[in-house]
Amino acid sequence: QVQLEESGGGLVQAGGSLRLSCAASGRLFSRYIMAWFRQAPGKEREFVATISQSGGYTSYADSVKGRFTISRDNAKNTIYLQMNSLKPEDTAHYYCASGAAGLSTTFHGYDYWGQGTQVTVSS
Each residue's pLDDT tens digit, 54-108: 999 999 999 999 999 999 999 999 999 999 999 999 999 999 999 988 888 888 8
pLDDT for 27 equals 79
pLDDT for 100 equals 84
- Calculate mean pLDDT across residues 1-18: 96
CB 7 within 8 A of CB 116: no
pLDDT for 42 equals 94
What tens digit of pLDDT does each residue of 25-54 get? 987 899 999 999 999 999 999 999 999 999
DSSP summary character for residue 87:
-
| Alpha carbon distance 32, 14 (integer Å) | 33
DSSP summary character for residue 110:
-
| Alpha carbon distance 95, 117 (integer Å) | 7
